[in-house]
Amino acid sequence: SVQAHKEEDNPQKTMEANGLTPVPDSYDYDLIVIGGGSGGLAAAKEAAKYEKKVMVLDFVTPTPQGSSWGLGGTCVNVGCIPKKLMHQAALLGQALQDSRKFGWQFTEEVKHNWMTMTEAVQNYIGSLNWGYRVALRDTKVTYENAYGEFVGPHTIKATNKKGIEKLYTAERFIIATGERPRYLGIPGDKEYCISSDDLFSLPYCPGKTLVVGASYVALECAGFLAGLGLDVTVMVRSILLRGFDQDMANKIGEYMKEHGVNFIREFVPVKVEQVEEGTPGILKVTAKSTTGDQMIEGEYNTVLLAIGRDPCTRKIGLDKVGVNINEKTGKIPVNDEEQTNVPHIYAVGDILQGKLELTPVAIQAGRLLVRRLYAGETTKCDYVNVPTTVFTPLEYGACGYSEETAVEKFGEENIEVYHSHFWPLEWTVPSRDNNKCYAKIICNIQDNERVIGFHVLGPNAGEVTQGFAAAIKCGLTKEQLDSTIGIHPVCAEV
Amino acid sequence: MGWEEMQVRGYAEFVRTAQSYHGRPIFALFCGDKDAEGRSWCPDCVTAEPVVRKELHNLPDESVFIYCLVGDRAYWKDPNNEFRRNLKLTGVPTLLKYGTPQKLVEEECFKAELVRMLFTED
How far from the centroid of its chain's Cα atoms is residue A386's Cα?
14
Long-range Cβ contacts of A132-136 (<8 Å, 24+ apart): A132/A36, A132/A41, A132/A71, A132/A72, A132/A76, A133/A71, A133/B117, A133/B121, A134/B104, A134/B108, A134/B114, A134/B117, A135/A45, A136/A41, A136/A44, A136/A45, A136/A56, A136/A71
**A469-492: buried (b, 16+ CB within 10 Å) or exposed (e) per residue?**
bebbeeebbbeebeeeeeeeeebb
Residues of chain A by 3-state class (helix, strand, coil), percent to 5 = 35, 25, 40
CB contact under 8 A, B100 and A126: yes
Rounded to the nearest integer, the mean pLDDT of chain A is: 93
**Residue A384 in domain:** no
Distance between CA A457 and CA A69 in Å, rounded?
33
Average pLDDT over residues A262-286: 97
Q: Is B87 on the interface with A (CB under 8 A)?
A: no
| B68 assigned to active site | no
For this complex, say whether ipTM is above 0.90: no
A407 and A439 fall within a common domain: yes
Q: Is the model's pLDDT at A126 over the cut of 70? A: yes
Closest Cβ opposite residue A130 in set B102, B111, B113: B102
Q: What is the pLDDT of residues A345-392, one digit of tens each?
A: 999 999 999 999 999 999 999 999 999 999 999 999 988 899 999 999
Domain locations in chain B as residue ranges: 4-120
Chain A residues whose CB is inside 8 A of the B114 CB are: 134, 137-138
* Beta bridge partners of residue A352, listed in sequence order: A332
Q: Is the model's pLDDT at A8 over the cut of 50? A: no
**Residue A161 in domain:** yes
Domain that holds residue A479: 395-483
Q: Is the model's pLDDT at B43 over the cut of 70? A: yes
- Reference A151, options A17, A55, A15; nearest CA is A17
A284 and A321 fall within a common domain: no
**B5-43: buried (b, 16+ CB within 10 Å) or exposed (e) per residue?**
ebebebbeebeebbeebeeebbbbbbbbbbeeeeebbbe
Q: Is the model's pLDDT at A22 over the cut of 70? A: no
Average pLDDT over residues B97-117: 95
Q: What is the pLDDT of residues A61-102, one digit of tens each?
A: 999 999 999 999 999 999 999 999 999 999 999 999 999 999
Q: Of B58, B97, B102, which to mutate for an interface test with A (greatest number of A Cβ within 10 Å)?
A: B102
Chain A residues whose CB is inside 8 A of the B107 CB are: none
- What pLDDT does A18 receive? 59
A246 and A144 fall within a common domain: no
Look up the CATH architecture of domain B4-120: 3-Layer(aba) Sandwich (3.40)
Distance between CA A163 and CA A157 in Å, rounded?
11
**Count of C-beta atoms within a 10 Å radius of residue A149:** 20
A166 and A33 fall within a common domain: yes
Q: What is the CATH number of the domain that holds A149?
A: 3.50.50.60
Q: Is the model's pLDDT at A209 over the cut of 80? A: yes
Distance between CA A451 and CA A54 in Å, rounded?
42
**Residue A409 in domain:** yes
- Reference A465, options A455, A453, A475; nearest CA is A455
- What pLDDT does A423 receive? 86
Q: How many domains, chain A?
A: 3
How far is the CA of A56 from the CAs of A71, A114, A164, B117, in angstroms? 10, 34, 17, 16
Domain boundary among A270, A287, A307: A307
* Beta bridge partners of residue A400, listed in sequence order: A453
Average pLDDT over residues B20-46: 94
Q: Is the model's pLDDT at A10 over the cut of 70? A: no
Average pLDDT over residues B42-60: 96
CB contact under 8 A, B114 and A138: yes
Could you tell me what percent of chain A has a pLDDT over 90? Answer: 88
Q: Is the model's pLDDT at A474 over the cut of 90? A: yes
Average pLDDT over residues A416-424: 91
Q: How confident is the model at residue A432 (pLDDT cuts 50, 70, 90)?
A: confident
SS (H, E, C) A404-449: HHHHHHHCHHHEEEEEEEECCHHHHCCCCCCCCEEEEEEEEHHHCC
Q: Is the model's pLDDT at A238 over the cut of 70? A: yes
* Beta bridge partners of residue B7, listed in sequence order: B67
Q: What is the pLDDT of residues A142-167, one digit of tens each?
A: 999 999 999 999 999 999 999 999 99
Could you tell me what percent of chain A has a pLDDT over 70? Answer: 95
Gap between the terminal Cα atoms of chain A: 55
**Residue A237 in domain:** yes
Dihedral sign for Cα A298, A303, A308, A313, please.
positive
Q: How confident is the model at residue A13 (pLDDT cuts 50, 70, 90)?
A: low
A343 and A449 fall within a common domain: no
Amino acid sitting at position A132: Y
Q: What is the CATH number of the domain that holds A427?
A: 3.30.390.30
**Residue A22 in domain:** no
Is residue A196 within 8 Å of residue A306, measured between CB atoms?
yes
CA angle A466, A468, A470 (to 5 degrees): 80
Q: How confident is the model at residue A1 (pLDDT cuts 50, 70, 90)?
A: very low
B-chain residue closest to A1, CA distance? B113
Average pLDDT over residues B66-82: 95
A46 and A121 fall within a common domain: yes
Interfacial residues of A (vs B; Cβ cutoff 8 Å): 1, 123-124, 126-127, 129-130, 133-134, 137-138
